[in-house]
Each structure stands twice: as structure tokens, then as C-alpha cells.
Amino acid sequence: MREREVSRFGRPPDPRFWSMNRSLAVDGWLAPYDIRQSVAHVGGLHRLGVLDDAEFELLRDGLQQVADEVAEDRFAFVEADEDIHMAIERRLGEIVGPTAGKLHTARSRNDQVATDLAMAVMEHSELAQRQIVSLMTRILEVAQAHRDWAMPGYTHLQRAQPVYLGHHLMTWFWMLVRDFERFGQTRRAASVMPLGSGALAGLNWELDRDALAEELGFASVSMNSLDGVSNRDFALDYLAAAAICSMHLSRLGSEIVLWSSSEFGFCRLDEAFTSGSSIMPQKQNPDSAEILRSKSPGLAQAFAGLAGVMHALPLTYNKDLQEDKRPVAEAIATIEGSLELATGMLESIEFDREALEEASSDEMLAATEIADLLVRKGMPFREAHGIVGDLVRECVSRGISLSGLERSDLAERSELLDDEFFEVLGQASWLESKVSAGGTSLSSLDSQMHAAAALLSELSN
Ligand code: ARG
């Protein structure tokens, strides 16, 4: 139980309160940020003249020792530690003696905790960006290697029009470009330093906040002390970026699950990324892809949870804000693990060219081509759509393919349907007709991949 030796309190806290008030379970991970911040802070206090040379060195070296204990997993909490900030200060006191009491000059835990969290969000946004670039690099490589492999493209999970596998895979690349940008915005949002806001109103010292910001890697300092201690937008930004990125990975994962099933047979995962069944010896399950698929609702929930904590919260610091750390810590672990997993999984995935080819040579996929043929001959698209739909219905009811139709069947529907109908079906070039920018034809796809490679080398720097 916490001893309140010198305080306005005459009695120790009730254990029922203390167990709920303690936040070590959710903020212990902030220790390295907290110590780095304190090292910068004692430098600021030294420059202010609050600490003399000897005191400054004592505190700086003591903090270094605490940092070593944390890094080597030797740091032990005691029951009286309320949170990570108090635990570190308590340990510093054990190491350096009463001078440790000077550490908390010109600082409140309110600006301290906001600063720790902002440091963590900055660092992990940057890390996520680097991981995203690795995954994008891998996706571009796989897309280039399967540039001209035909496959069916889908809408409503029904075969719609053929596309190149390279084109389909590149979709994932562009999703990740947007994630990269979102984490970049998150990093910028977190790079405004709250430290120096004090409890809420500012400090009685003219601390050089700009110098501290620079030392800690912040781009600027918060302009309003009330906003400084109560702002958690950067944490919401991080959770939103992680949730959306995870949603993208869930769509990628979901397709791999489908494609690796015997029903599709389009791809195979390396066995190092699959697991077996405890009862059915023949099975190799695409667990990696399922894991990617499963994580995004939890991250969306983390966002919704913190948005709920922030809702209508009066200024400035309220204990409710202690609920910010768990969702952020969970999101960091989940999104970083997922990005690593996705990259690893795509390093060894194998596609089955024949299976993809066979699925994409379904003649029905040429229906749009036939409609466009009629349009080129002057028929309005709506009318062409109706006529081709009628032909498809006829084929389905007679159990034949489009090329199995007779000339008379065609003539019945439109005099514009002539030999070219059979030519279009025969040429199997329905992919190469998609020549618009961003379309699947190889010339468009090559421009797309060229732009992607250029962007990637820009983002890697
Ligand atoms: N453990 C607290 C938190 O995470 C630190 C800030 C405490 N501030 C206070 N005024 N009690 O939010």
C-alpha cells in the first residue's frame, strides 16, 4: 500500500480504490520514453539554474541507471508505485537520494504523460511507415513477377471481367500508399510537444521548451497549455490509421484464404505460414491469412473505445485519460505484427498459372466485350447490354458457351452481330482492350508499376 508520507492525506488510500487507480499494467511500456523525457527535462532545469552542475549530473546518471535496469528487465515495481512516472521517480530516489525530489520541478504528470504518449506515437508511426514500405516493395515484386498472368476479376464474388494477376495485386500496393500517408499525418500530429504545459496553466519558470522539443524529436511545442495536457487527437489518429491499415490487410488476407482453398486453387502458402489440424491429418490451414483477416475489428474497436473516453470530456486532465494507453499499446503490437506477417507471407506465396488461366478463360467474361462491339457499331450501350444479356440467358438455358451459338441466334437479336462476334470470342484479348489509364492492359499496367516504383523509391528515402 502506498505510504502518503508528506501530503494532505492523513490516511492511506483504500485498497479497492488503489487497485483500480494504479496504471502500471498499462503504462509500464512507456518507461523508456519517460526516462528519455526526464533526461531532457533535467537538462532544461540545469540551464534554468534550478539544478547546479553536480545535481544535474547526479540526476542524469541516476536516470541512466534506471534506464539500464528497465532495458535489462531488472526494474522492479513496488506496491506503492501508482504509475510508471512515480515508479521511476521512486527508483531514482533510491539511487541518488533526496536530490531526486528536484526532478518534478516545472513539470506535472499531466504534461509528462501526454509527452510520453506523443513520443511513443511519433516513433511507432514512423516504424509502421517503414514496415509499410517493405510490404509495398514485396507486393510490387510479386506483381511484376505475375504481370501477365490472366485471372478472373470479381464483383459480388462472381466472375466479372478478366484482369492480370499483377493488376489485382497492385491494388494492395495503392491501399498501402494511403496507409503510409495516414501514418505520416499521425506522426505530424504527435510531433507537437506538450511538455512545459505544467498541470494545465503553464509553468512558473521560463523553460526553453523549443530546445527540449528539439532534443526529444518534436517539430514544435503546443501553443496552449490547456490543450497541451488534454489533447489526445494524435492517439486517435494512430488508432484510426492502424484500424484502416488493418482493414486493408484483412481484405488481402481474406482473398488469400479464398484463393488457397481447393475450390479456387489459385495460390499456395509456404507451409511455414500455415498450420495443421489437430484431428485431420491432411489439412494445411492458411492461418496467417486468417489472422490478417481477423484483426481489423479489434483495432476499430480500440479507436471507438478511446473516442468514447474523449467524448464530452471537460478540460483539462481527467483520470479518464488514463484509458488512452491500453488501446494504443494494443494497436502498436497488432499492426506491427500484422505488417511483418503480411510481408513474410508474401515472400513465399506461389500462384498456379493454369488454374488462374482456366478460370479466366470462362467465355462469359467476354460479355462486356460483345456489348462494346455493338456500341462501336453505333448501338446505345443500354440496348447492347440487354441484347448480350439475352444471349447469355439463352446459352445458360441450353448449357452451351457463347461461341456455341448459331448465326441465326445472333441475327434474331441484331443485324449488327456478325463474324466479329466470333472473332472477339476467339481472340482471348479481353484484357488487352482495357487501355484506359489505370486499366488492366499490359501497357496501362506497366505505366502503373512504373509510377509505383518511382513512388516507392521516394518513400524509401
Ligand atoms: N497515470 C496517469 C495517467 O496515465 C498519469 C497522470 C496523472 N495525473 C494526475 N493528475 N493524477 O493518466
**Domain of residue 101, CATH code:** 1.10.275.10
Q: What is the pLDDT of residues 349-363, one digit of tens each?
A: 999 999 999 999 888
Q: Whose CA is nearest to atom 11 of ligand 1?
A: 319
Query: By residue range, what is the domain housing residue 416?
Result: 361-460
Q: Measured between alpha carbons, how far is 151 from 165 in angstroms, rounded to an integer?
A: 6
**Range 107-114 average pLDDT:** 98
Number of domains in the chain: 3
Residue type at position 188: R
Tell me, yes or no, whether 131 and 161 share the same domain: yes
Å from CA of 86 to ligand 1 middle:
10
What is the rounded average pLDDT of the residues 191-202?
Answer: 98
State yes or no: pLDDT of 1 exceeds 50.
no
The yes-or-no answer on residue 338 being catalytic is: no
260 counts as catalytic: no
Residue 188 C-alpha to ligand 1 middle, in angstroms?
24
Residue written as cell 530546445? 211
* CATH number reported for the structural domain that contains residue 416 in this entry: 1.10.40.30
Catalytic residue among 7, 19, 156, 397: 156
Q: In this predicted structure, which of 129-143, 229-243, 348-362, 411-425 has the lowest mean pLDDT?
A: 411-425
Q: Domain for residue 8, yes or no?
A: no
Q: What is the mean pLDDT of the chain?
A: 94
Cis omega before residue 274 (within 30°)?
A: no
Same domain assignment for residues 75 and 176: no
- Is the whole-model pTM more than 0.85? yes
Of 315, 322, 323, the one to substitute when testing ligand 1's pocket (max ligand atoms within 8 A of C-beta) is 322
367 and 346 inside one domain: no
Q: Give the binding-site residues of ligand 1, using a 6 Å CB cut-off.
A: 23, 27, 83, 109-110, 113, 317, 321-322
The residue whose C-alpha atom lies closest to atom 1 belonging to ligand 1 is: 83
Give the residue, by CA position, lying nearest to ligand 1 atom 7. Answer: 109
Residue 89 CA to ligand 1 centre (angstroms):
14
